[in-house]
């Protein structure tokens, strides 16, 4: 049986239309290239959903609850986004992080955990991921964002400041978790759990050039101000004055080895 020219033309048009629909679906979907259906999400979050499925779902899970396929093998456990409880923030204890805080975490990663840096992603892709991650918790829709806690200018590091910081480290019982030498082996270390009941070890302050939420003096000051939500690490905002916090920062920085840098140089690392 002969195929007519009219039938061939009709088939060609159908193929072209199908290809057009596929391209449209891909363009309307994720930056990862995976097509995403229209699902009530705004465009930015929908594109972020595709990125999340490609890069994040293995650890954080389809529902964002930290129960991905890789989760049983990770210590500490992946973040449960449904709780909207984040460690690295510029906002007070118990409050939501700013988008800039989440952007910093995605870009920097979390040192000492399974969370890597996602710097290979573009600026726009990281914003898309943030938009989607925020859809896992109603808190981002229902709660008002708190203002970031101010970080005052850092005074020069000195031997006197370090000495005062060492005394504060002892007086505020930092050593009971982090150990006398900051190695994360204090008498309370083996008894600590996170907010979901998982065992959690205090950070070894001697372990390298970075801390969990950054490497510079102002980032460490910020952690002491905000605490690390979801962990036993409290905020010292009301317990210590800013000059005491800077003394504590200067002491903690002496516990880590930074090849090729003096402590004063580390303290001088600029803010973004």
Measured distance CA(59)–CA(68) in Å, rounded: 4
The DSSP symbol for 226 reads: H
End-to-end CA distance of the chain: 72
Model pLDDT, residue 7? 42
Note if the pTM is more than 0.85.
Answer: no
Percent of the chain at pLDDT > 90 equals: 74
Measured distance CA(52)–CA(39) in Å, rounded: 15
Q: How confident is the model at residue 258 (pLDDT cuts 50, 70, 90)?
A: low
- Supply the CATH classification number for the domain 35-142: 1.10.760.10
193 has a pLDDT exceeding 70: yes
For residue 110, give every residue at least 6 positions away whose Cβ sits within 8 Å of its Cβ, in sequence order, or none.
87, 88, 212, 213
Measured distance CA(51)–CA(125) in Å, rounded: 8
- Tokens found for residue 256: 């880590």
Question: What are the extents of the domains in the chain?
Answer: 35-142, 159-267
Q: Report how far apart, in Å, the C-alpha atoms of 243 and of each of 23, 211, 237 are.
A: 58, 21, 11
| 85 close to 102: Cβ distance less than 8 angstroms | no
9 has a pLDDT exceeding 90: no
CATH number for 159-267: choose from 1.20.120.80, 3.40.50.800, 3.30.70.2660, 1.10.760.10. Answer: 1.10.760.10
Percent of the chain at pLDDT > 70 equals: 80
Find the range with the poorest average confidence among 7-16, 86-95, 114-123, 151-160: 7-16
Q: Report how far apart, in Å, the C-alpha atoms of 229 and of each of 5, 93, 192, 267 are.
A: 69, 6, 14, 25
The DSSP symbol for 82 reads: G
Find the range with the poorest average confidence among 37-46, 127-136, 189-198: 37-46
Establish whether the linkage from the previous residue to 76 is cis, with ω within 30° of 0.
yes
Asked whether this chain's domains 35-142 and 159-267 adopt the same fold, the reply is yes
For residue 73, give every residue at least 6 positions away whose Cβ sits within 8 Å of its Cβ, in sequence order, or none.
none
């Amino acid at each position: 049986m002969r195929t007519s020219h009219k039938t061939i033309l009709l088939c060609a048009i159908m193929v072209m239309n199908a290809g057009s629909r596929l391209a449209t679906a891909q363009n309307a979907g994720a930056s990862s290239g995976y097509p995403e259906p229209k699902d009530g999400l705004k465009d930015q979050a929908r594109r972020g959903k595709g990125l999340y499925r490609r890069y994040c779902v293995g650890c954080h899970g389809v529902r964002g609850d930290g129960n991905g396929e890789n989760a049983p093998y990770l210590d500490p456990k992946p973040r449960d986004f449904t709780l909207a409880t984040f460690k690295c923030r510029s906002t007070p204890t118990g409050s939501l992080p700013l988008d800039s805080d989440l952007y910093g975490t995605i870009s920097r990663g979390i040192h000492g955990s399974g969370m890597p840096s996602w710097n290979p992603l573009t600026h726009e892709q990281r914003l898309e991921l943030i938009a989607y991650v925020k859809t896992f918790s109603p808190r981002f829709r229902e709660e008002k964002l708190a203002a970031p806690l101010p970080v005052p200018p850092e005074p020069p590091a000195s031997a006197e400041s370090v000495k005062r910081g060492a005394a504060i480290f002892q007086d505020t019982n930092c050593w009971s978790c982090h150990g006398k030498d900051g190695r994360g082996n204090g008498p309370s270390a083996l008894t600590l759990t996170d907010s979901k009941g998982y065992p959690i070890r205090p950070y070894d302050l001697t372990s390298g050039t970075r801390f969990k939420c950054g490497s510079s003096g102002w980032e460490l000051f910020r952690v002491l101000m905000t605490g690390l939500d979801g962990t036993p690490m409290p905020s010292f905002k009301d317990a210590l004055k800013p000059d005491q916090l800077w003394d504590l920062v200067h002491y903690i920085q002496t516990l880590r080895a930074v090849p090729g840098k003096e402590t004063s140089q580390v303290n001088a690392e600029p803010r973004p």
